[in-house]
Amino acid sequence: MKKIIKFLFILLPWFISALTPVDKSYYLSLNLPFFAPPPFFFAIIWTILYILIATTIYQKIDMKKDIQAPYKYTLIINYIANQSFQPLFFLLKNNSLSFVSCIITFISSLFLYKESQNNKLLIPYILFSLFATILSLTIYLMNLHTL
C-alpha cells in the first residue's frame, strides 16, 4: 500500500495542467496540419505518458535514496515546461510561447532520458514530445496571419 501511495504522490502533480480549461473550439478554429490529431487523443496519450514518467521517477527514487542534482534540475525544468503548455495555449492562446514550451519539453525530455540512465520507458515521451513540437511549430506557422 505504501508503494501505491508513493507512486500516486509522484503521478498526481503531472495532472495539474489538466485543471486548465481546455478550449477545444480554439484548437479546432486554428488552421491545423493534416497530421493534427483530434482533441481527445491528447488526453489519452498524455495520461499514458504521465504514468510512464511517474514510473521512471518512482524507479529512480527506489534505486537510490540520494538523487543527483542534474536529475533533479532536469526533472524540474521538464515538469515546468510540460505543465506550462496548456495555460499558454488554451488560456493565453499564445502559439509562439506554446511552441517554446514544446521545444523546452522535448529537449529536457532528452536530458531526462540521459539522467535516468536511458530508461526505455521515457522513449514514448521523447517521441511524442518531438511530435508535439513539430505540431506546435506547424500550427504556429500556419496561423501567423491571425496574430
Q: Identify the pLDDT of residue 139.
A: 97
The four Cα atoms 107, 112, 118, 122 give a dihedral, to 10 degrees, of: -80
How many domains is the chain partitioned into structurally? Answer: 1
pLDDT band at 21 (very low <50, low <70, confident <90, very high): confident
Residue 48 near residue 124, CB atoms below 8 Å: yes
- pLDDT of residue 147 exceeding 60, the answer is no
pLDDT at 27 (0 to 100): 94
Mean pLDDT within 55-82: 91
Distance CA 119, CA 60 (A): 10
Give pLDDT tens digits for 102-115: 999 999 999 999 99
What CATH number does residue 49 fall under? 1.20.1260.100
pTM: 0.93
* Helix ranges, 64-122 (H): 69-86, 95-115
Domain carrying residue 18: 2-146
- Report the b/e string of 25-35 with b at 16+ CB within 10 A: eebeebeeeee
- Show the CA angle centred on residue 100, arms to residues 21 and 72, nearest 5°: 90
Query: For the CA atoms of 83, 89, 93, 95, what is the dihedral angle to 10 degrees?
Result: 120
- Distance from CA of residue 73 to its chain's centroid? 16
Interval 91-110 mean pLDDT: 97
* % of the chain with per-residue pLDDT over 70: 97
pLDDT band for position 1 (cuts 50, 70, 90): confident
